[in-house]
Structure 1
Amino acid sequence: MNTIRMKAILLTAIAAIFSLSIMAQSQSLGKSDPAAKKILDAVSAKFKTFKAVQASFSFKNEDAKGKVLGIKKGSLFTKGTKYRVNITGGQDIYCDGTNIWNYDKSVNEVTISKYDASQNSITPQKLFTNFYDKDFLYKLNGEKKEAGKTLQEIELTPVDKTKSFFKVIVWVDKAAQTIYSTKVLEKSGNKYTYTVATLNGKAAVADAQFVFDKAKYPGVEVVDLR
């Protein structure tokens, strides 16, 4: 999997944990379900109360036939405009609000780019707000019990039909008003499922967590695109 593809998957994981904004679709005729909107708005509002976040999650990749191609675990840290995403044995993304470091563990290479909040790029800050109103249609499919939780199932569809995915199913923990699990269905048939293991919205996260420290990676190749 190339660097761009992996970065997209990592940022998708961020979205899966907290917000529903990057990958989804609804089957209603151009209108979203008010009941689903109420739930999504509550998820967005809950996230905005968090000063700093530390979370862990799992990521499962399945092919069109339902065969599991791999399961990985990861972690997420956010604080203001800063964020960091780590996939065990895969790739890390650091952002200190000024620069973004995309570190590929497999080749010991880091790519540095400038952070620009005005760009149309995916960032945790954009994902944690209610812009799903503009980009998606959504509907509430019902509730189910799992792992001792009451989960509300919301189906989302992208307004832009050129996206590589055609549907996202999101399960919201009804009591906590946070995302429990998200399944992204791609047009290729591949499915990606992200499930939250732990979530701490009051984490003590040092600013150093969001900066790539070259000294800790002997021999790392640096590609500076700034």
Structure 2
Amino acid sequence: MRKYIFSVLIALLSLPVIAQQQQSQAKAVLDRTAEAFRKAGGVKADFTVKAVTNGLTEGSENGTIQLKGEKFVLKTTDMVTWFDGKTQWSYVVKNDEVNVSNPTQEELQQINPYTFLYMYQKGFSYKLGTTKTFRGKAVWEVILTAKDKKQELERVTLFVTKDTYEPLYILLQQRGQQTRNEITVTSYQPRQNYADSVFTFDRKQYPSAEIIDLR
């Protein structure tokens, strides 16, 4: 009995060390992923996003995102969103209107899943998961959890290739919601040369669109 108690005590005392090691390993993966992204220059990624509730897919769509640092342009069937690092323009196809805003970091997290490359550095704890392969590739699984219980985005699960540190899969879980968004990267093209103008709304391309300034 005493031997059992000591075994349990040793295991409990070692948990903080194991957790610290896991967090250190997870941070190393995130750091290398962020560094690989910075070195990639401009990036173009094709993706599929699914809304899943209780294991059932409620809807899915395909899209493309072009990135350079914090700047991005995101294109789906229904919407095109540009962000130049400060201002965001969202063109809604069916309404032929553009909403202009200066989004918060939390709002950007809901639009651009690649913000994990910056947001993990504050406000999130992280640890390694157990998934080893995804779509035939060896991956690191990293789970990020928001420290602030009031933050809308509660958890991010990320699969990153072990050889090139490119994101393959991103799972976004909003706080208090059963539905989660699963993003699968189907194509990833680094070293793209983008002018800054790519990430701003061009009025000439949408001459009839109504501009709604929400700033």
Give the structure 1 partner of residue 3 of structure 2.
none
1:154 to 130, 137, 142: 142
SS in 1 for 2:94: coil
1:6-64 deviation per Cα after TM superposition (whole angstroms, max 9, x unaligned): xxxxxxxxxxxxxxxxxxxxxx979662111111111111111122111111100012x
Separation in structure 2 between the aligned mates of residue 143 and residue 92 of structure 1, nearest angstrom: 33
SS in 1 for 2:31: helix
AA aligned to 2:50 is: K
Map residues 42-121 of structure 1 onto 2, 5 A cutoff.
42-63=32-53, 65-80=54-69, 82-87=71-76, 89-97=77-85, 99-113=87-101, 120=105
1:199 to 181, 188, 200: 188
Moved more, 131-140 or 66-75: 131-140
Note the residue ranges of structure 2 that are not aligned, 5 or more in a row: 1-14
Whichever of the two has the greater Rg, that structure is: 2
- Structure scoring higher RCO (CA < 8 A, sep ≥ 6) equals 1
The RMSD of aligned alpha carbons is 2.7
Q: Greater helix share, 1 or 2?
A: 2
* Mapped contact 1:48–1:128 kept (Cα < 8 A): no
Separation in structure 2 between the aligned mates of residue 167 and residue 137 of structure 1, nearest angstrom: 10
Is 1:141 matched up with 2:138?
no
* Mapped contact 1:91–1:103 kept (Cα < 8 A): yes
Separation in structure 2 between the aligned mates of residue 138 and residue 98 of structure 1, nearest angstrom: 28
SS in 2 for 1:180: strand
SS in 2 for 1:133: coil
Separation in structure 1 between the aligned mates of residue 128 and residue 86 of structure 2, nearest angstrom: 38
* Mapped contact 2:38–2:69 kept (Cα < 8 A): no
AA aligned to 1:163 is: Q
* Total equivalences in the alignment: 193
Separation in structure 2 between the aligned mates of residue 142 and residue 51 of structure 1, nearest angstrom: 30
Change (3 A) 1:225 1:133: closer
Change (3 A) 1:189 1:120: closer
Change (3 A) 1:130 1:165: closer
* Mapped contact 1:41–1:130 kept (Cα < 8 A): no
| TM-score (normalizing by structure 1) | 0.74
AA aligned to 1:154 is: V
Moved more, 126-135 or 187-196: 126-135
Separation in structure 1 between the aligned mates of residue 82 and residue 37 of structure 2, nearest angstrom: 20
SS in 1 for 2:28: helix
Note the residue ranges of structure 1 that are not aligned, 5 or more in a row: 1-27
- Sequence identity (%): 27
Separation in structure 2 between the aligned mates of residue 156 and residue 96 of structure 1, nearest angstrom: 26
